[in-house]
């Protein structure tokens, strides 16, 4: 690929001029235009950061890894060096590193010790359209910081999904729109007999992949599913295809190792790639060669129940914006086809955008971070979308119950210990309690917290449900999940 032919380079001068002349610039563009990998390089090559660094936030680890490696290769260097990355428990940067790719959680961590981000001259918030809780919090903090630092520049990179809201939030800052060189994508609405039945969805996927493989039409597949368990079931089914020898079937989801995730970028001469992914493949990564997208139209979102203080991952229909993001993955390098496993009427009835996390997530962790940063008037914090008085007050109530903040909304001694753990307050409080009062069960509490901070280890592979439940039963304990998790850990150890 000739990097200089990417659409972002048609706007190179506009980007440089806009960043020179403005405190905040929004760049909106579909995926595949080069904005994620080339804007940091353009800014660095133009020496717009001076002696400071360029920080680039990414919502996912896989993106931070792939982006840093790609930019470093362009410079003919390795990571860490001129380019580096940071994520939880990993710091691949050097004192001389100029471009720092980091997960958004790391930027929030850096704000603890450097509230004005003094080592950076430019902060680029990538994939801002995802509107995660971390992204919204970061944008609010950056809006406050630029009032104190006239030399700090902010670049907000977004897909063409309601990008105007960022300009309005930052006082009508300029928006640079980059058009993608997209090939046409044909859409086929092919709902299964039972739209909400996963077995019917799997049958449709099996049929579509098998038919195209029999026709020997060129191109790779990208199949979207809602989670790890569904992906494993789908891969198991596709492995039975007669044409299996001509395919390389690869999973892509957050819990995979770095090596496993990076396999989706590899070339397999003479083989067709079939990638089965969660919504991690919607915007965070760009995979060349995709000609066929299969979209059942569902995804999992996290919802918080204010009545019982619990969060749940719930499978819901995705928005029109997400449907179109998925479709667009098929038209990057050649004409493509998107098979939507739902009706056109269903598509037209969907919401335009995905509901922002700030309206459906527990805010107690964000409020705890505010208290750590010395923010007291939580209700007046300038979020890009106001979560509402009730949601903020609910988070305050949770933190008071956990004894993390006092009546003045300052961190207590317990709260100061809790913020050292990058996990939800309920789990960090559990660890602090064991440290302070119950040393004899500290190991057990740490193990339980590690399990609770991740998704359930109990999976039900398709076709092996009975065997899986029998295996699960051998670890189950009458005292509940905590002890069950200890049994799993001890057996593994």
Span 29-72, pLDDT tens digits: 988 889 999 999 999 999 999 999 999 999 998 889 999 999 99
190's CB contacts (< 8 A; 6+ apart) are: 204, 208, 339, 340, 341
Percentage of the chain surpassing pLDDT 90? 74
Span 134-172, pLDDT tens digits: 999 999 999 999 999 999 999 999 987 778 899 999 999
Span 231-280, pLDDT tens digits: 999 998 998 886 677 899 999 998 888 788 889 999 999 999 999 999 99
First to last CA, the chain: 46
202's CB contacts (< 8 A; 6+ apart) are: 233, 234, 237, 462
- In angstroms, the CA 63 to CA 258 distance is 10
- In angstroms, the CA 41 to CA 76 distance is 13
What mean pLDDT do residues 193-200 have?
Answer: 88
Question: How many CB atoms neighbour CB 345 within 10 A?
Answer: 9
Q: Mapping DSSP to helix (H, G, I), strand (E, B) and coil, where does residue 19 land?
A: helix
- In angstroms, the CA 435 to CA 417 distance is 10
CA distances from 320 to 26, 197, 313, 324, 353 (A): 22, 21, 20, 6, 6
58's CB contacts (< 8 A; 6+ apart) are: 64, 67, 101, 102, 103, 104, 126, 127, 284
- In angstroms, the CA 69 to CA 91 distance is 14
Q: How many residues are recorded in the chain? A: 493
Rg for the chain, CA atoms, rounded: 24
Q: Is the dihedral of CA 114, 120, 122, 125 positive or negative?
A: negative
Span 405-463, pLDDT tens digits: 999 999 999 999 999 998 999 999 999 999 999 999 999 999 999 988 877 777 766 56
- In angstroms, the CA 382 to CA 169 distance is 9
Domains of the chain: 3-177 (3.40.50.300), 185-355 (3.40.50.300), 358-455 (1.20.120.1080)
Q: Mapping DSSP to helix (H, G, I), strand (E, B) and coil, where does residue 11 land?
A: helix
Taking CB atoms within 8 Å and a gap of at least 24, the contacts of 322-326 are: 322/279, 322/282, 322/354, 323/295, 323/297, 323/347, 323/350, 325/31, 325/159, 325/161, 325/282, 325/283, 326/222, 326/224, 326/282, 326/293, 326/295
- In angstroms, the CA 326 to CA 225 distance is 11
> DSSP H helical segments within 27-163, as ranges?
35-45, 61-75, 104-113, 133-148
The pLDDT value recorded for residue 174 is 97
Question: How many CB atoms neighbour CB 418 within 10 A?
Answer: 28
Cβ atoms of 167 and 139 closer than 8 Å? no
404 backbone dihedrals φ, ψ, rounded to 5°: -90, -30
The pLDDT value recorded for residue 476 is 85
Residue (of 316, 337, 318) closest to 328 by Cα position: 337
Full-prediction pTM beyond 0.95? no
């Amino acid at each position: 690929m000739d990097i200089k032919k990417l659409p972002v380079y048609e706007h190179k001068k506009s980007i440089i001029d806009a960043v020179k002349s403005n405190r905040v610039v929004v760049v909106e563009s579909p995926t595949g235009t080069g904005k994620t990998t080339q804007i940091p390089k353009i800014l660095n090559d133009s020496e717009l950061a001076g002696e400071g660094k360029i920080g680039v936030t990414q919502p996912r680890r896989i993106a931070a890894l792939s982006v840093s490696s790609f930019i470093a290769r362009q410079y003919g260097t390795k990571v860490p060096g001129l380019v580096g990355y940071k994520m939880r428990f990993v710091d691949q940067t050097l004192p001389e590193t100029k471009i720092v790719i980091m997960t958004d959680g790391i930027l929030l961590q850096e704000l603890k010790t450097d509230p004005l981000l003094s080592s950076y001259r430019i902060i680029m918030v990538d994939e801002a359209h995802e509107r995660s809780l971390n992204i919204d919090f970061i944008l609010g903090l950056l809006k406050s910081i630029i009032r104190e630092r006239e030399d700090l520049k902010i670049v907000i990179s977004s897909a063409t999904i309601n990008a105007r809201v960022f300009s309005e939030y930052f006082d009508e800052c300029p928006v640079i729109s980059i058009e993608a060189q997209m090939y046409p994508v044909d859409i086929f609405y092919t709902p299964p007999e039972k739209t909400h039945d996963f077995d019917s969805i799997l049958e449709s996927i099996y049929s579509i992949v098998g038919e195209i493989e029999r026709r020997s039409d060129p191109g790779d597949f990208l199949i979207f599913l809602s989670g790890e368990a569904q992906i494993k079931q789908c891969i198991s089914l596709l492995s039975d295809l007669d044409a299996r020898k001509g395919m390389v079937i690869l999973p892509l989801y957050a819990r995979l190792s770095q090596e496993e995730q990076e396999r989706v970028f590899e070339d397999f001469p003479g083989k067709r790639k079939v990638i089965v992914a969660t919504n991690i493949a919607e915007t965070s990564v760009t995979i060349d060669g995709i000609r066929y997208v299969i979209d059942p139209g569902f995804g999992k979102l996290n919802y918080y129940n204010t009545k019982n203080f619990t969060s749940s991952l719930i499978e819901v229909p995705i928005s029109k914006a997400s449907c179109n993001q998925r479709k667009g993955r098929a038209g990057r390098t050649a004409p493509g086809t998107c098979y939507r496993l739902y009706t056109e009427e269903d598509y037209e009835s969907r919401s335009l955008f995905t509901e922002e996390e700030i309206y459906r997530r527990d805010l107690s962790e964000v409020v705890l971070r505010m208290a750590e940063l010395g923010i007291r008037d939580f209700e007046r914090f300038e979020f890009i979308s106001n979560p509402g008085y009730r949601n903020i007050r609910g988070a305050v109530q949770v933190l008071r119950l956990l004894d993390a903040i006092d009546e003045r909304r300052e961190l207590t001694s317990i709260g100061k210990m809790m913020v050292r753990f990058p996990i939800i307050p309920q789990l960090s409080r559990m660890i602090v309690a064991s440290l302070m009062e119950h040393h004899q069960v500290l190991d057990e509490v740490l193990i339980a917290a590690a399990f609770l901070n991740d998704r359930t280890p109990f999976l039900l592979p398709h076709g092996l449900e009975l065997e899986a439940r029998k295996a699960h039963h051998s670890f189950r304990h009458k005292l509940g999940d905590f002890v069950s998790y200890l049994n799993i850990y001890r057996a593994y150890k």
